Chain A
Amino acid sequence: MDPSEVEFLAEKELVKIIPNFNLDKLYLIGGDLGPFNPGLPLDVPVWLALNLKQRQKCRVVPPDWMDVEKLEEMRELERKAAAFTPAPSPYYMELTKLLLNHASDNIPKADEIRTLVKDIWDTRIAKLRLSADSFISQQEAHAKLDNLTLMEINTIRGFLLDSLNCLYKLRSNLQSGSSKGRLADF
């Protein structure tokens, strides 16, 4: 999977906007989007929010989790816990990038938020790397990781599966016929 595909899936998430125009209810394949009235907030998917923002037809309201104090708390929790803590949002990385690139003037303290989200991402990816490393070195049969987001899984998927495949080939050459360490194919 390409990171841009993950971003595309992230654009389905809902975000609050305040439009400045009038429009009746929209009936789209993915669902209905409520009537647009100037000054009244409503939820729309991110792709529509960004399009309207670029055409200067709305103001974007940052999601609840995109707040400096909350992100600081989450970052501390993440650093202390050994396992993965629940992520701010299943698509926190993509949403941060999209909203801060196109609507940073509607989001207060955008630079600090960018830094905090990057810190959280770095901590989680480090944990992921450690866990993958121990999985391979201890030749475990299966592992279970909670609270991973799709972007993180996608980041490690290619490397992990390729390396496991290589190990399998090496092992099956050394001990031909032995069924030790049967690895699931993807």
Chain B
Amino acid sequence: MSVNQQAHPGPPYGQPQPGYQGYQQPGYGGPPLPGVPQSQYGAYNGPVPGYQQPVPPQGSLRGPPASGAPPSTSGASVPAGHPGYSQFGQGDVQNGIPASAAQMHRYVRREQILTKASLGRPALPSPMQGPPLPGQTVAGPPPSQPNHVSSPPPPSSMSGPHPGPPPMGGLHGPPPPTHPPQPGYHMQQNGSFGQARGPQPNYGGAFPGTPNYGSQPGPPPPPKRLDPDSIPSPQLNELPPQQKPRHRIDPDAIPSPIQVIEDDRSNRGSEPFVTGVRGQVPPLVTTNFLVKDQGNASPRYIRCTSYNIPCTSDMAKQSQVPLAAVIKPLATLPPEETLPYLVDHGESGPVRCNRCKAYMCPFMQFIEGGRRFQCCFCSCVTEVPPHYFQHLDHTGKRVDFYDRPELSLGSYEFLATVDYCKNNKFPSPPAFIFMIDVSYNAVKSGLVRLICEELKSLLDYLPREGNMEESAIRVGFVTYNKVLHFYNVKSSLAQPQMMVVSDVADMFVPLLDGFLVNVNESRTVIASLLDQIPEMFADTRETETVFAPVIQAGLEALKAAECAGKLFIFHTSLPIAEAPGKLKNRDDRKLINTDKEKTLFQSQTSFYNNLAKDCVAQGCCVDLFLFPNQYLDVATLGVVTYHTGGSIYKYAYFQLETDRDRFLNDLRRDVQKEVGFDAVMRVRTSTGIRATDFFGAFYMSNTTDVEMAGLDCDKTITVEFKHDDKLNEDSGALLQCALLYTSCAGQRRLRIHNLSLNCCTQLADLYRNCETDTLINYLAKYAYRGVLNSPVKTVRDALVNQCAQILACYRKNCASPSSAGQLILPECMKLLPVYLNCVLKSDVLQPGPEVTTDDRAYIRQLVTSMDVAETNVFFYPRLLPLTKADVDSNSLPAAIRNSEERLSKGDIYLLENGLNIFVWVGVNVQQGLIQNLFGVSSFSQISNTLSALPILENPFSKKVRSIIDMLQGQRSRYMKLIIVKQEDKLEMLFKHFLVEDKSLSGGASYVDFLCHMHKEIRQLLS
């Protein structure tokens, strides 16, 4: 790794470490780290010296790598050459505080790999550390690397003017922070770095949101920026001239998401995650692991930003770490895990605390021989109902502890009684209403025919309750353009009947009987209808559509049928026909980067908000499939969908050939997926904290109840907590999320998820038990909501600021004293900068020219309901070298980092972000591979309009397709497949997703951003 490159003198590096150790020891000493820690620490110091040594060899090493692409083969080495880099990468990177043994392990291993990779050969490590033993090596070099990013912000800037031994000096010279920092450094901090400083000013001013940052037009005098001391690496020359100067820090020296993911996978993927212990940090979302519910909800249901909550609000404020839980109440579980058990407490309903109404859960304390129980949330003592009474054993546990899911498990369901139902009536089974736009565009594109064809078979797969033979869900059909057409598909009819309602100003449902029907009973009539719809409108010339009345119609239909349900609306255009909710085209790119930009995300009219409210009251969930050929104001059309817990799917410029499969897969999944209706979610907490803010697709009529007309297995709600009192380290903090909903068979149920967290009085504990992925999920949702009300720039600034504070707080309070120039990141948050940068660069916060207003609104809404795994891959896409895939195993090739430097011209890569899959083909890919994958003989013949790979009978093709299928299977939406040929114009689009690089729209590269963060942190600290 780059880390090695710098020939840092041992001492400086070493110095911080002692502090480190010292710091840790007290806290750490206690924990029963099996010996390893100590040695590790020891090793830690050790490596440093060795670390620097290797530098020279590096040079020599470099020589050989003549191979084509620098990134793939010797990516590591490239950066190494850079002096600036080294600064960063190396000494400065100081590991925070290893959180736990496990973490240590993870950490260590990664380091190992890193070193190897970077050095190019195993021999190198030995000089540093001596023994290449895994344990040792690990311990030694790596820890230092990732964590410590040396201060020099944009090392590039330092370059020119630096007197003396610039970067190195910075590091070395001032051994401990006490020393007067080197001049060079100083200047940097102040931003007065002299002429060469060029870039810096940019940072300060432009960075937050301004395009300058990204665009930084070919950094003026690249050569100048080079540190005189930097060791030019031979490989540099291979890079395009422009790039060379820019990269001063070795990208390999900075924390790598891939590495973190891999480490976690290998460390934690094998053992099941048992939830019995309070405050355990679960494995990363990218890791495959099994969960054993032993009293806390599975991380598939709830993930927290931190599993150790500061005891006081002061601490929380100081750290700035948001306390949030990302809850996915109806998450799908892998087949190996059991679904929540259904508990029936009889006619009186679930047993609950008398005061706070919390539901019976494993944390309730039974007292007085089991006659009463004390609430774990509010401490109120409640009489145990006679029918629920059970004796306690000698430990105070109820005898039936293991027989009752609500006493022994973290997640379970209660059967609700009539008191939990609307109007005190048990609900009827829900209904699905399909509402199809039949205006000119929809018909002409073949969409209407496609939908009708698909529905014929799809209707047999409506969601069913576990063991039921047929679905209880009734279906109805509406088509519309400027007017609405309802269909009577009563089973007794020979032919369906169409009823046109043109009074769109005052919507109503023209029929009652025969609109919502059982699929099996009305099968022939429905089939006949679906056959005829495309014919009936084949010659339509109507181009205008309405929208709000369509929702109103569905709503009224559900009202009339007295049930909850879901509308599937297939819509193509901006609703400009005269009707309520009529919209005008207000798209205006000029607003971007102005104070008015927020209006692009806001609803055009409040009409839809009110409509959404009505829909929620009725339990009418709206799913929207959009097929726009131009602006259709997703921000407004999506309002109802958003507030009712529905999903939006958007297929811009829909073309039958290319988008057919994607749409149909989405539709199938959307129709079939598990969904609850008329849901209300409430999060209760133990005294001391309180759920204060909620993010997601729902509606809230008061401050505590999250209402969703529909909630499917993919929808996630992020909940933020705030202190309202002190917490107690002993008792910890408890969350109980109760979701009241109607199942697809019309059964009213309560799903309960419980989670217990630790509380801490030491900030270090907080930082040691954080989860960056969840944090990013929260921050993204927070920011994406922010753009509704504030200028995007403000939002971005706030994000950067908050993260800087988080990191600065760590540095100040937890990290061992070290040079101010050193960037020290907590182990659990070392990816925060890179991920944060991805959030900042996302289309919503920093749109490129090709991103439409609708896209931004669409993504904004999507992200709001995403779970942690989805946000993770969405912001930091997965990049897989397909050509490296092992054809014989069914594993995925190891992912690589999202940077162009890592791509080799001779390889084929796959990039996925949950919405798209790109298959990137280098210009030098072997013909055989191309033939095998695309069935064409040369690179130039590959069509980039393919929407799927051809089905070819050869191992490579099979492998790639199975990879793609596997990826598709992991995502809630069918991803669009885009073939990108290197140097083709589509490549621009692809590059947009190489998030570690500078983006065209002005997003900073990872390295640049890291420097910027560092600067921010230092400013905070000083």
Do A and B assemble together? no
